[in-house]
Amino acid sequence: MSAFQPAGQSQFAHRFGDVAVRLSVELGRTELPLREVLMLGEGSTVPLDRLTDELLDVTANGRVIARGEVVADKGRFALRIVALVGEDGQDMSPAPSAADASADAPSGAADAL
Protein backbone atom coordinates (compact mmCIF):
# COMPACT_ATOMS: atom_id res chain seq x y z
CA MET A 1 0.00 0.00 0.00
CA SER A 2 1.44 3.43 -0.94
CA ALA A 3 1.78 6.35 1.47
CA PHE A 4 -1.16 8.04 -0.31
CA GLN A 5 -3.52 5.07 -0.15
CA PRO A 6 -6.08 5.33 2.66
CA ALA A 7 -7.05 2.21 4.62
CA GLY A 8 -9.87 0.30 2.96
CA GLN A 9 -9.05 1.62 -0.50
CA SER A 10 -7.87 -1.81 -1.69
CA GLN A 11 -11.45 -3.14 -1.29
CA PHE A 12 -12.72 -0.11 -3.23
CA ALA A 13 -10.16 -0.71 -5.98
CA HIS A 14 -11.14 -4.39 -6.10
CA ARG A 15 -14.81 -3.50 -6.67
CA PHE A 16 -14.45 -0.47 -8.95
CA GLY A 17 -10.92 -0.75 -10.30
CA ASP A 18 -12.00 -1.45 -13.88
CA VAL A 19 -14.20 1.66 -14.19
CA ALA A 20 -12.69 4.00 -16.83
CA VAL A 21 -11.99 7.57 -15.72
CA ARG A 22 -10.79 10.24 -18.16
CA LEU A 23 -7.64 11.97 -16.87
CA SER A 24 -6.58 15.27 -18.39
CA VAL A 25 -3.59 17.55 -17.89
CA GLU A 26 -3.70 21.17 -18.97
CA LEU A 27 -0.47 22.97 -19.81
CA GLY A 28 -2.04 26.41 -19.53
CA ARG A 29 -4.51 28.85 -20.99
CA THR A 30 -4.52 32.14 -22.81
CA GLU A 31 -6.98 34.55 -24.34
CA LEU A 32 -6.36 35.98 -27.80
CA PRO A 33 -8.34 38.32 -30.02
CA LEU A 34 -9.92 36.47 -32.93
CA ARG A 35 -7.72 38.32 -35.43
CA GLU A 36 -4.60 36.82 -33.72
CA VAL A 37 -6.15 33.34 -33.73
CA LEU A 38 -6.85 33.67 -37.46
CA MET A 39 -3.20 34.62 -38.02
CA LEU A 40 -1.85 31.47 -36.29
CA GLY A 41 0.07 29.19 -38.57
CA GLU A 42 2.66 26.49 -38.55
CA GLY A 43 5.53 27.59 -36.31
CA SER A 44 3.42 30.13 -34.36
CA THR A 45 4.06 30.34 -30.64
CA VAL A 46 1.20 30.90 -28.22
CA PRO A 47 2.31 32.02 -24.74
CA LEU A 48 0.39 30.39 -21.89
CA ASP A 49 -0.45 31.62 -18.39
CA ARG A 50 1.62 28.99 -16.56
CA LEU A 51 5.32 29.16 -15.72
CA THR A 52 7.61 26.32 -16.86
CA ASP A 53 8.39 25.24 -13.28
CA GLU A 54 4.76 25.24 -12.05
CA LEU A 55 3.06 21.93 -11.35
CA LEU A 56 0.27 20.96 -13.73
CA ASP A 57 -3.26 20.13 -12.57
CA VAL A 58 -4.44 16.57 -13.19
CA THR A 59 -8.21 16.34 -13.54
CA ALA A 60 -10.46 13.29 -13.45
CA ASN A 61 -13.79 13.92 -15.12
CA GLY A 62 -13.23 17.68 -14.70
CA ARG A 63 -12.20 17.68 -11.01
CA VAL A 64 -8.59 18.40 -9.95
CA ILE A 65 -7.27 15.31 -8.15
CA ALA A 66 -3.49 15.78 -8.28
CA ARG A 67 -0.60 17.97 -9.36
CA GLY A 68 2.36 16.75 -11.37
CA GLU A 69 5.32 17.50 -13.58
CA VAL A 70 5.99 16.53 -17.17
CA VAL A 71 8.61 13.81 -17.70
CA ALA A 72 9.71 11.64 -20.61
CA ASP A 73 8.97 7.90 -20.47
CA LYS A 74 10.02 5.59 -23.31
CA GLY A 75 9.90 8.39 -25.87
CA ARG A 76 6.49 9.69 -24.75
CA PHE A 77 5.33 12.52 -22.54
CA ALA A 78 4.24 11.34 -19.11
CA LEU A 79 3.31 12.97 -15.84
CA ARG A 80 4.93 12.30 -12.48
CA ILE A 81 2.41 12.87 -9.67
CA VAL A 82 3.93 15.17 -7.06
CA ALA A 83 0.91 15.85 -4.84
CA LEU A 84 -2.63 14.59 -4.43
CA VAL A 85 -5.43 17.11 -4.01
CA GLY A 86 -8.06 16.67 -1.30
CA GLU A 87 -11.79 17.32 -1.39
CA ASP A 88 -11.14 20.92 -0.30
CA GLY A 89 -8.85 21.55 -3.30
CA GLN A 90 -5.74 21.75 -1.11
CA ASP A 91 -2.66 19.57 -1.65
CA MET A 92 -2.62 16.58 0.68
CA SER A 93 0.59 15.79 2.53
CA PRO A 94 1.67 12.19 2.10
CA ALA A 95 1.72 10.08 5.25
CA PRO A 96 5.33 9.29 6.15
CA SER A 97 6.37 5.80 5.12
CA ALA A 98 8.50 3.50 7.27
CA ALA A 99 11.49 4.29 5.03
CA ASP A 100 10.99 8.03 5.59
CA ALA A 101 10.72 7.56 9.35
CA SER A 102 13.96 5.60 9.55
CA ALA A 103 15.74 8.14 7.31
CA ASP A 104 14.71 10.96 9.69
CA ALA A 105 15.69 9.03 12.81
CA PRO A 106 19.02 9.80 14.50
CA SER A 107 21.93 7.58 13.50
CA GLY A 108 21.62 4.16 15.08
CA ALA A 109 17.95 4.66 16.03
CA ALA A 110 16.76 2.70 12.98
CA ASP A 111 18.86 -0.27 14.13
CA ALA A 112 16.98 -0.33 17.42
CA LEU A 113 13.64 -0.90 15.65
Q: How many CB atoms lie within 10 A of CB 85?
A: 17
pLDDT at 32: 96
Domain assignment present for residue 57? The answer is: yes
User: Is 41 inside a domain boundary?
Assistant: no
Beta-carbon contacts of residue 29 (< 8 Å; ≥ 6 apart):
48, 49, 50
Residue 38 reports pLDDT greater than 50: yes
Structural domain that includes position 80: 52-93
Q: Would you mind telling me the total number of residues written for the chain in this entry?
A: 113
Q: What's the pLDDT tens digit per position in 49-99?
A: 999 999 999 999 889 999 999 999 999 999 999 999 988 877 876 544 444
Could you tell me if 23 and 58 are in contact, meaning their C-beta atoms sit under 8 angstroms apart? yes
Residue of 98, 58, 107, 103 lying closest to 78 (CA atoms):
58
Give me the number of domains the chain comprises.
1
Asked if pLDDT for residue 21 goes beyond 70, the answer is yes
- Against a cut of 0.75, is the pTM above it? no
